[in-house]
């Protein structure tokens, strides 16, 4: 088999951002592991011996034949691109052909490899500059084992500049976690000093993998959404470079439900594009804004965004570590991301079914029901046949059943029942109405306020109120938010608004003041209307202060609690 690794032509080398990317254990691990993923590996074993400055990455990927092995560490040699046009078709994590070459200048490099379908494996030892020093036949399973030893051995100033071993190992772990989240189908085994350090098992989706990395989070705290989206229409200057652009892109979101999990730092707002974690202040900001007024103060969401975009939309070539990217038509992607997050946060029949119908207990329950002719809630029992929920129309599936303590609405749905706190559910409804339509209407006679400070007057003007002096220590307010109009306490409400905050804070305050109080009796019709309006909100899970709105008693949890999976005959001792 001929070599598929080739040196890049000079003009391509000039186009590629030059840069030394190997500066730590973590960067070595990243480069080697990315090569394994590019080789299609599904099992990767990383071993590190920090005191020996040695790192080994073994994979079950496609492997290399002898020709490729001999070429692999020479300058700018890659099997992944050939020409400058290929820079717009990058589907791999690597493409510069620099990593192995750099490693031969910074460390001792040995590679064992056997191509899939090849009879023999080979061991190659490389010298400075990627020169081949030794070649032997070796017994090895298909795949590749790369060993980097004596890292930075010829450059002691680099070693001295590095943080402590513990910190470096933390960075290695973080690097592997990030990569694993982008490639959930891979099984990982990580060893340090010949002992197992941690493992990550493959999962069907990133959401199913995430609890292995963030153990505080459980599967049910997360909602996954996948959206297929067309690529944006190319603007003029892109047309020359673009090739065929009929491909679809996809947005994959793993969203921590705001009533179940959040963080005190924005450390889990993460963005990946085409298999690679990237820094994108713009997209991170978009994510944070989609969670605005759904979380308690100073808390941040958990949200992992993975964009799978056709490569002609991306310029990876901005910086050597490829962590910064230039994305065409960023506002288009931002809009799509908001759509996706809203879809994940909304309460819909489809979202519910995910959590309710995947548990083992509910499967058992279904089996038991089929035999016993037992039926929970006959009107709704055929919910499996319902037309799948579209993101545009949310059917009302919650039925008001009763009110408890003049505070909680008992709501029944096909998967169980919820207790909904009436005040904050209503507050959520009103808040979103106010955000969509902040309507100020004039009042006659004006509302008179006393003893306002200049800051208070300014604040009221900032949120759009028409306010002017009306005499000694008196001010006249000639308009106010429509929602407050009918209220007797509107002077008090305006005073509250004058105490500060931005428009959104004012909207929260108005919603809170106008929402039905706890302790107020409601009839079934009123409760049903509130439930209907509430389940149509964009962020039904939490109120604008971040408090959870409902407590769910899923049918599966009830079944578990009441031991409904017991076989009746057996529990009677028959
Ligand atoms: P790049 O990844 O940018 O192509 P590298 O220097 O990292 O450059 O690797 C050079 C080439 O060596 C790759 O293009 C690939 O063909 C081959 N290679 C490296 N690691 C592996 C591996 N684990 N399995 C198979 N091939 C590999
Ligand atoms: Mg590489």
Confidence class for position 8, pLDDT limits 50, 70, 90: confident
126, containing H or E segment: strand 121-126
Q: Does the pLDDT at position 365 exceed 80?
A: no
State the pTM of this model. Answer: 0.81
Q: Does the pLDDT at position 413 exceed 70?
A: yes
Spatial separation of the C-alpha atoms in residues 163 and 521, rounded to whole Å: 63
Q: What residue ranges of the chain are covered by domains with CATH 3.30.1540.20?
A: 371-574
Confidence class for position 381, pLDDT limits 50, 70, 90: very low
Instruction: Determine the atom of ligand 1 nearest the C-alpha atom of 77.
Output: 10
Q: Does the pLDDT at position 396 exceed 90?
A: no
End-to-end CA distance of the chain: 70
Report in angstroms the alpha-carbon separations of 308 from 97, 142, 314, 316.
23, 29, 11, 14
Average pLDDT of the chain? 86
Q: What is the pLDDT of residue 325?
A: 75
Q: What is the pLDDT of residue 475?
A: 94
Q: What is the pLDDT of residue 379?
A: 39
Q: What residue ranges of the chain are covered by domains with CATH 3.30.565.10?
A: 10-200
Q: What protein residues have CB closer than 5 angstroms to ion ligand 2?
A: 35, 94, 99
Q: Taking a C-beta distance cutoff of 8 angstroms, is the pair 35, 146 a contact?
A: yes
Mean pLDDT of 263-276: 95
- Ligand closest to 82 (CA) is 1
What are the tokens at 366? 């279904």
Spatial separation of the C-alpha atoms in residues 280 and 43, rounded to whole Å: 29
Which tens digit of pLDDT belongs to each residue from 289-301? 999 899 998 999 9
Q: Which residues contact 391 (CB under 8 A, 6 or more apart)?
A: 339, 343, 346, 348
3-class secondary-structure state, position 494: helix
Q: What is the pLDDT of residue 319?
A: 67
Q: Does the pLDDT at position 371 exceed 60?
A: no
DSSP structure class, residue 485: T
**Which of the four CATH numbers 3.40.309.10, 2.60.120.10, 3.30.1540.20, 3.40.710.10 does domain 371-574 have?**
3.30.1540.20
Instruction: Determine the atom of ligand 1 nearest the C-alpha atom of 101.
Output: 6
Which tens digit of pLDDT belongs to each residue from 158-174? 898 899 999 999 999 99
SS (H, E, C) 387-446: CCCCCCCCCCCCEEEEEECCCEEEEEECCEEEEEEHHHHHHHHHHHHHHHCCCEEEEEEE
Residue nearest to atom 23 of ligand 1 (CA): 36
Compute the distance from residue 275 Cα to the ligand 1 centre, in Å. Answer: 17
Residue nearest to atom 14 of ligand 1 (CA): 78
Which tens digit of pLDDT belongs to each residue from 56-97? 999 999 999 999 999 999 988 899 988 888 888 888 998 888
Spatial separation of the C-alpha atoms in residues 489 and 291, rounded to whole Å: 31
Residue nearest to atom 21 of ligand 1 (CA): 35
Q: What is the pLDDT of residue 18?
A: 63
Q: What residue ranges of the chain are covered by domains with CATH 3.30.230.10?
A: 220-230+248-345
- Cis peptide preceding 445, ω within 30 of 0: yes
- Within 10 A of 225 (CB to CB), how many other CB atoms are there? 20
Query: Is pLDDT larger for residue 422 or for residue 353?
Result: 422
Q: 220-230+248-345: what fold? A: Ribosomal Protein S5; domain 2 (3.30.230)
Compute the distance from residue 99 Cα to the ligand 2 centre, in Å. Answer: 5
Which tens digit of pLDDT belongs to each residue from 340-357? 999 999 887 666 654 444
Compute the distance from residue 78 Cα to the ligand 1 centre, in Å. Answer: 6
What are the tokens at 416? 């169980």
Rounded to 5, what percent of the chain is helix, strand, coil? 35, 25, 40
Q: Which residues contact 21 (CB under 8 A, 6 or more apart)?
A: 27, 31, 98, 99, 102, 320, 321
Residue nearest to atom 7 of ligand 1 (CA): 99
Residue nearest to atom 27 of ligand 1 (CA): 35
Compute the distance from residue 467 Cα to the ligand 2 centre, in Å. Answer: 65
Compute the distance from residue 35 Cα to the ligand 1 centre, in Å. Answer: 5
Which residues lie with the beta carbon below 6 Å from any ligand 1 atom? 5, 31, 35-36, 39, 59, 61-64, 72, 77-80, 94-101, 144
Question: How does 510-522 read in b/e, with b if 16+ C-beta sit within 10 Å?
Answer: bbbbbbbeeeeeb
**Which of the four CATH numbers 3.10.420.10, 3.40.50.10610, 3.40.1280.10, 3.30.565.10 does domain 10-200 have?**
3.30.565.10
Q: What is the pLDDT of residue 488?
A: 83
Spatial separation of the C-alpha atoms in residues 564 and 574, rounded to whole Å: 17
Q: What is the pLDDT of residue 523?
A: 97
Report in angstroms the alpha-carbon separations of 10 from 7, 75, 99, 237, 244.
9, 11, 18, 25, 27
């Amino acid at each position: 088999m001929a070599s598929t690794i080739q040196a890049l032509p000079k003009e391509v080398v000039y186009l590629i951002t030059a840069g030394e990317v190997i500066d730590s254990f973590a960067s070595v691990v990243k480069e080697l592991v990315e090569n394994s993923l590019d080789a299609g590996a599904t099992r990767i074993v990383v071993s590190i011996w920090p005191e020996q400055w040695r790192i080994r990455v073994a994979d079950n990927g496609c492997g290399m034949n002898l020709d490729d092995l001999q070429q692999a560490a020479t300058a700018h040699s890659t099997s992944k691109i050939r020409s400058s046009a290929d820079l717009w078709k990058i589907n791999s994590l690597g493409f510069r052909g620099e990593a192995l070459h750099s490693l031969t200048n910074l460390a001792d490099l040995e590679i064992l490899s056997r191509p899939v379908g090849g009879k023999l494996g080979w061991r190659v030892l490389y010298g400075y500059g990627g020169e081949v020093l030794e070649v032997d036949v070796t017994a090895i399973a298909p795949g590749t084992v790369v060993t980097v030893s004596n890292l930075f051995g010829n450059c002691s100033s680099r070693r001295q500049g590095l943080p402590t071993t513990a910190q470096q190992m933390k960075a290695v772990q973080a690097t592997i976690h990030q990569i694993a989240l982008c490639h959930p189908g891979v099984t990982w085994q990580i060893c340090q000093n010949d002992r197992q350090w941690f493992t990550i098992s493959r999962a069907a989706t990133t959401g199913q993998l995430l609890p292995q990395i963030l153990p505080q989070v459980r599967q049910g705290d997360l909602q996954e959404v996948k959206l297929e989206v067309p690529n944006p229409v190319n603007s003029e200057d892109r047309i020359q470079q673009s090739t065929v652009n009929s491909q679809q892109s996809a947005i994959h979101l793993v969203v921590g439900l705001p009533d179940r999990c959040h963080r005190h730092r924005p450390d889990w707002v993460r963005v990946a594009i085409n298999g690679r974690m990237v820094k994108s202040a713009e997209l991170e900001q978009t994510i944070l804004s989609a969670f605005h007024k759904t979380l308690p103060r100073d808390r941040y969401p958990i949200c992992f965004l993975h964009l799978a975009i056709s490569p002609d939309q991306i310029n990876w070539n901005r910086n050597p570590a490829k962590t910064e990217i230039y994305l065409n038509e960023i506002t288009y992607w931002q809009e799509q991301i908001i759509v996706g997050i809203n879809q994940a946060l909304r309460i819909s029949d489809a979202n519910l079914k995910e959590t309710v119908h995947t548990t083992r207990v509910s499967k058992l329950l279904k089996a038991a029901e089929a035999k016993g002719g037992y039926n929970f809630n006959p009107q709704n029992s055929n919910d499996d046949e319902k037309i799948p929920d579209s993101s545009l129309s949310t059917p009302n599936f919650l039925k008001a059943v009763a009110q408890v303590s003049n505070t909680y609405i008992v709501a029944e749905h096909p998967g169980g029942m919820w207790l909904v706190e009436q005040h904050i559910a209503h507050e959520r409804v009103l808040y979103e109405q106010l955000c969509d339509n902040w309507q100020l209407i004039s009042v006659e006679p004006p509302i008179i306020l006393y003893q306002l400070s200049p800051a208070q007057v300014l604040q009221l003007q900032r949120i759009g109120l028409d306010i002017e002096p009306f005499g000694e220590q008196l001010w006249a307010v000639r308009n106010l938010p429509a929602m407050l109009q009918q209220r007797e306490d509107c002077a008090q409400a305006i005073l509250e608004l004058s105490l500060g905050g931005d428009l959104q804070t004012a909207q929260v305050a108005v919603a809170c003041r106008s929402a039905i109080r706890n302790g107020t009796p409601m009839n079934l019709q009123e409760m049903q209307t509130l439930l209907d309006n509430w389940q149509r909100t964009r962020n039904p899970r939490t109120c604008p202060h971040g408090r959870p709105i409902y407590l769910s008693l899923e049918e599966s949890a009830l079944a578990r609690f009441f031991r409904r999976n017991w076989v009746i005959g057996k529990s009677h001792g028959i």
